[in-house]
Structure 1
Amino acid sequence: MRLKPLALRMRPKKLDEIIGQQHLVGEGMIINRMVKARHLSSMILYGPPGIGKTSIASAIAGSTDTAFRMLNAVVNNKKDMEIVAEEAKMSGKVILILDEVHRLDKAKQDFLLPYLENGKIVLIGATTSNPYHAINPAIRSRCQIFELKPLEPKDIEKALQNAVENKEDGLGKEQIDLAEDAKSHLALSSGGDVRSALNALELAVLSSEKDENGIIHISLKDAEQCIQKKSFVHDKDGDAHYDVLSGFQKSIRGSDVNAALHYLSRLIEAGDLVSIARRLLVIAYEDIGLASPQAGARTLAAIESAERLGFPEARIPLANAVIELCLSPKSNSAYSALDQALNDLRSGASGEIPAHLRDAHYKGAKKLGRGLDYKYPHDYESGWVQQQYLPDKLKGKKYYQPKKTGKFEQALAQVYENLNKKQ
């Protein structure tokens, strides 16, 4: 009898077996609390393919004493749902794990609604589509909505190692030598999709011969062939991966569009969306900063679009973001100013908060001299009045040194200079 695919065999059966998604299933997080309290409500799990939606649904069901059934909104018909409903009437409650929940047609929706309303069926729907766009409001309003994130390479490496060692459901009955660079490549090249990584690992094992000692060796070359992506030197534990990221940021900082696109292509080829997203967001605030503050919001929107789309389409919003950041004016004045303030604080240069600025919202504050002589800026026509805000020890200190590389910061600089002249 042919074994089920490795990714299916390794699907978590309990909540504590889930890899990643700790913002939902970690200790003290919402789904973890719901399971421990044995009080499940209907929910929709959404996010890119292969990141654990159905696995979490199965683990939730497996962590309770409630009967559960798995259906697919495309494959299964209304009659299949009627069977689940009858079981719910008999037993009192059934958990229905429904894949492709956004594909429910009206007849199936109308049938399910009363059972969701009375709690006889607890729906755990899984979808790659944004439920706010793709799911009928009547269903959506009866469900909690939880967004899953793409898995990080370290999470996928853990899943691969578990598969190699697991003797019951994984590949542990064989002696497998999975090279570290091969494991890293599978994790990075899968683009956050653990199913893809496990399928590639299984193909590598099944297509490899044992050596004279009965060991199956999986090399980087094997991994490349099985996931059909050529390896760049991007081992997360080595210098080369960080060299690419460094070259990427420095090219954007230096406004070299072509170099930045080159390094972006390396990171895309490695499937490392997590590192790309983090680095772009840092760049938007570290290198562009107040010279073009709207770049931060647009970069975040591009990142969210890329995460929702997944590769290969993710490259489209990423390219837009990189070119905009390259050609934007640059300023590091904001965080440089904060770093100077932090340096003063850590070196002991802080001092007491002036008495007129201290909290005066309690009985006896006036007797202590708190809040006396504070001038409320809104009482003045210009919305500004001269008074001391810094502690005496730092009086007159100026951390912010504006750069006039963009129109926005030029305007800030003019206001800043005018205020300084009045002091």
Structure 2
Amino acid sequence: MRNEPLAYRMRPTKIEEVAGQEAIIGKETALYRLIKNGHVPSMLLYGEPGIGKTSLAHAIAGSSDLPFITLNATVSGKKDVEDVVAESRITGKVLLFLDEIHRFNKLQQDTLLPHVESGAIVLIGATTENPYHDVNPAIRSRCGEIRQLTRLEPEDLLSVLNRALEDKSRGLGKTAIEITEKQLLTIAEGVNGDARKALNVLESIVVASDEIDGITIVEDSLLENLLGRIGLFGDNKGSHFYNLLSALQKSVRGSDVNASMYYLAHLLETGDLVAVSRRLLVMAYEDVGLASPEVGPHVLAATEAAVRLGMPEARIPLANAVIEMCLAPKSNSAYKAFDAAVQAINDGKTGDIPMHLRDAHYSGAAALGHVGYKYPHHTPLGEFGGWVNQQYLPDKVEGTEFYKPVISGQEKKMAAIYEKLKEFRKKK
């Protein structure tokens, strides 16, 4: 058996061997037909680790007649790119797979530009980060395909695992292995759609299992032990982390407690407690807001307790906070009102501050006309406190309504007061 890991040896050698990703490289897709007809376009492949970006690039290379060169941007530099350019001048068009392309700085990426544009280099760039954020726009514009890969389904992973067990040249086909379909399914379902992890688990369990009469016997207990040590959550630095934060906020906004718990658990496993706490506090005021104004202070207390406690205890106050937000009446009216006011200002809808609202706490203010302000507390209005009918907005925007009440939870009472005050103003 060769020394390379099983996941490395079992990379597909042509596009027909690619597992999953039917929407990208399935037989009915334009990309599949382009490659089968001898044309490989420059492209960017985006997705989490282990979902097949490198494998797809190798499969495309195996299905084309182009010289294939691989570089990793974490260890390669401008000189390496220049060597690829020199190679293209000798051999003609080359296919360059540049892994972690987002790690290249602008100068390094710019070195590629004229050669990708001329067609001397066909570029397949792979990145775990959103290419619209982290890849030079000039590179993006020269890539005809920008594709986001998805995690593999268990049935796709079963295909990968069975191929590895049967392949006698690259896989484990020369080894007699007793492993059940249920055990294979356990691996497929336990690696979170990551083909590399699935093959790593398979190889590890085969090596760790006992051999009886020339047959390697896979035991359930050993499989469970290995799967329990596999990390599934990624890191807290990349796009996936922000996708998880987005999914958590949208699940809370949608009042789905179970989805919210799932994404909260996923996020806390990454270890960035401060970032998660900050997002929860934003959500309390952005999505729950005036409908349940008590939620903001509750979430603040929960996040402060979580940071003080640290993990794993931090999960307790945060779980309370998330469920309270999920099931609370919701309103985004406050920040929407603010955004509307900002938009009005940016649109030029401004005017002079009414004279009676200007600062009058100095000698000479009256001479400037800063007079006429009526103190609301001097005019009680039922149980509301004090109110007086006077103009507050500048003349040019007088009558503009930025606030649109949401009839939800406690904001219903605020909305009723707001409407009543509007009626009073009309009697001016």
Same fold (TM over 0.5): yes
Separation (CA, whole Å) in 1 of partners of 2:25 and 2:223 = 30
Distance change (3 Å), C-alpha of 1:321 and 1:220:
farther
Aligned equivalent of 1:141: 141
User: Paired residue for 1:173?
Assistant: 174
1:181 Cα deviation from its structure 2 partner: 2.8
Counterpart CA distance in 2 for 1:256 and 1:59 is 40
Please list every run of 5 or more consecutive structure 1 residues that lacks an aligned counterpart in the other structure: 231-251, 272-314, 330-405, 408-423
In the alignment, the residues of structure 2 paired with residue 17 and residue 324 of structure 1 have an alpha-carbon distance, to the nearest angstrom, of 48
**Equivalent position of 2:161 in the other structure:** 160
Alpha carbons of 1:73 and 1:256: their partners in 2 closer, same or farther (altered >3 Å)? closer
Q: Alpha carbons of 1:256 and 1:71: their partners in 2 closer, same or farther (altered >3 Å)?
A: closer
Aligned to 2:199: 198
Check conservation: 1:95, 1:121, Cα contact below 8 A: yes
Moved more, 8-17 or 104-113: 104-113
- Report if the CA contact (8 A) 1:47-1:53 is conserved: yes
Shift of residue 326 of structure 1? 5.9
Q: Does structure 2 retain, via aligned residues, the 8 Å contact 1:261–1:322?
A: no
Matched residue, 1:209: 210
Identity of aligned residues (%): 50
Partner of 2:130: 130
Distance apart, 1:63 and its partner CA: 0.2
1-side partners of 2:10 and 2:188: how far apart? 16
Query: What is the CA–CA distance in structure 2 between the aligned matches of 1:155 and 1:174, rounded to whole Å?
Result: 23
Aligned pairs, how many? 263
Task: Quote the residue 1:55 is aligned against.
Answer: 55
The AA in structure 2 aligned to 1:112 is L
Give the corresponding residue for 1:22: 22
Task: Please give the secondary structure, in 1, of the residue aligned with 2:212.
Answer: coil
Match in the other structure for 1:221: 221
Q: What is the alpha-carbon root mean square deviation over aligned residues?
A: 3.5
Distance 2:9 2:324 in 1: 44
Q: 2:190 matched to 1:189?
A: yes
CA shift for structure 1 position 90 = 1.7
* Equivalent residue number for residue 46 of structure 2: 46
Q: Structure 1 residue 78 and structure 2 residue 78: aligned?
A: yes
Unpaired segments of 5 or more residues in structure 2?
231-251, 270-314, 330-406, 409-428
Residue 77 (structure 1) shift: 2.2
CA distance in 2, matches of 1:34, 1:147: 18
Q: Which protein has the larger Cα radius of gyration, Structure 1 or Structure 2?
A: 2
Quick check: 2:260–2:322 contact (8 Å CA) kept in 1? no
Task: For residues 20-40 of structure 1, give each alpha carbon's deviation from its aligned partner in whole angstroms, at most 9, with x where no partner exists.
Answer: 001011112132022022222
Q: Which residue of 2 aligns with 1:240?
A: none
Partner residue, 1:109: 109
Q: Deviations over 1:148-205 (max 9, x none)?
A: 0111111112111111111110011001112233212211121111101111110111
1:210 alignment partner, SS class? strand
Pair 1:256–1:51, CA change in 2 (3 A): closer
Contact 1:14 1:60 in 2 (8 A): yes
Q: In the alignment, does 2:108 pair up with 1:98?
A: no
1:13 aligns with 2:13: yes
C-alpha contact 1:176 1:215 (8 A) present in aligned 2: yes
Residues 69 and 97, structure 1, Cα contact 8 Å, conserved in 2: yes
Aligned amino acid, residue 28 of structure 2: G
1:237-267: CA deviation from partner (whole Å, max 9, x where unpaired) = xxxxxxxxxxxxxxx9xx995xx489959x9
Q: Do the aligned partners of residues 196 and 256 (structure 1) sit closer, same or farther apart at CA in structure 2, a change above 3 Å counting?
A: closer
Identify the residue that residue 67 of structure 1 maps to in structure 2. Answer: 67
Deviations 1:393-413 (A, max 9, x none): xxxxxxxxxxxxx97xxxxxx
- 2:3 is aligned with 1:3: yes
Contact 1:179 1:219 in 2 (8 A): no
After superposition, the Cα gap between the structure-2 partners of 1:262 and 1:40, relative to the gap in structure 1 and judged at 3 Å, is closer
Query: For the structure 1 residues 80 and 200, does the alpha-carbon distance in structure 2 shift closer, same or farther, using more than 3 Å as the test?
Result: same
SS in structure 2 opposite 1:39? coil
- Cα contact 1:189–1:229 (8 A) shared by 2: no
Give the alignment's TM-score, normalised by structure 2.
0.55
Tell me, in whole angstroms, the C-alpha distance in 2 between the residues paired with 1:91 and 1:256: 57
TM-score by length of 1: 0.56
Shift of 1:91: 2.0
State the SS of the aligned residue for 1:70: strand
Give yes or no for contact 2:209–2:219 (8 Å, CA) kept in 1.
no
Contact 2:38/2:64 (CA < 8 Å) preserved in 1?
yes
Q: CA deviation at 1:112?
A: 0.7
